[in-house]
Copies of this chain bind each other. A is one copy, B any other.
Amino acid sequence: VAYLEPSYSLYPVLTEVQGSRKLAIPYEFMDGRWGLPDDIERVNATILLIVNPNAPTGHLNPIARLEQIAGVFKGLVLIDEAYTDFAGESALPLVRELKLPNVLLLRTMSKGYSLAGLRFGYALAQESLLKEIEKVRDSYPVDAIAQAAATAAIMDQAYARETWRKVVSERARVTTALQAMGFSLPESASNFVLAQVPSRPGVTARGIYEALKARHILIRWWDLPRIADKIRITIGTPEQNNCLLDELKRLL
């Protein structure tokens, strides 16, 4: 299983649990932007896993690039679209129009439909691929109440779209405010931003994370290569975002 780094940390864990071999491929990071390596479609692996938009970077890999990768890569291209509702563009045409037989999209109701407690996920792919997965998947995967709630949520697209619009609008405002404070951050296509802290004496990502936590404002920070100088902030309500921005101004 080949996967990008930094990305969602559960995938290497699941790969190990299944007794599969892991291959971590570093994202390129140039001029403050994250990007897929040029030759990634030629990686020697059975599964190539791309989270899109990616977590925790928040960036969107171009769908045209994913199409090109899927055309060359010999194995299964698994695209985790957990955050796709905030991106404005998804890889769905690769499955629905182009009918690529080796593309599997993973979706969840946890983010774009605010149903994180529901544990309702689904996959989108050509029938030829789903038929094979059907052979080994769990027999009783989703409970009846979760099915009813997920169905109701999906039926109410007007409500969902309004939620996405609010998040995207606040994301733009928070991004601008952070940049004004000296943070540098690439455009996010998700419901969070990953911001590099300003280069100032005494200012560290960890320090900001801990100071905010002491004030009951929870953001994420990882002591990991390439992102230890960055903080991930999930977009909240306007009031929550103001609270965070005020506190950051005070800290800096």
A146 CB contact (under 8 Å) in B10, B17, B139, B145: B145
Q: Are B136 and A117 in contact (CB under 8 A)?
A: no
Residue of B nearest to A144 (CB): B117
Number of copies: 2
CB distance from A160 to the nearest CB of B (A): 19
Interface size on A, residues (CB 8 A): 18
CA distance in complex: A34, B10 (Å):
46
CA separation between A145 and B115, bound complex, in Å? 11
Interface core residue of A10, A17, A118, A143 (most chain B CB under 10 Å): A143
A10 in complex: contacting residue of B13, B119, B139, CB < 8 Å: B139
A106 CB, nearest partner CB in chain B, Å: 13
CB pair A119 B142 closer than 8 Å: yes
Q: Collect the chain B residues with CB atoms within 8 Å of residue A10's CB.
A: 139
Partner of A117, one of B119, B139, B141, B143: B143
Q: Does A120 contact B (CB under 8 A)?
A: yes
Show the binding face of A for B, using Cβ within 8 Å.
10, 13, 17, 117-120, 135-136, 139-146, 149
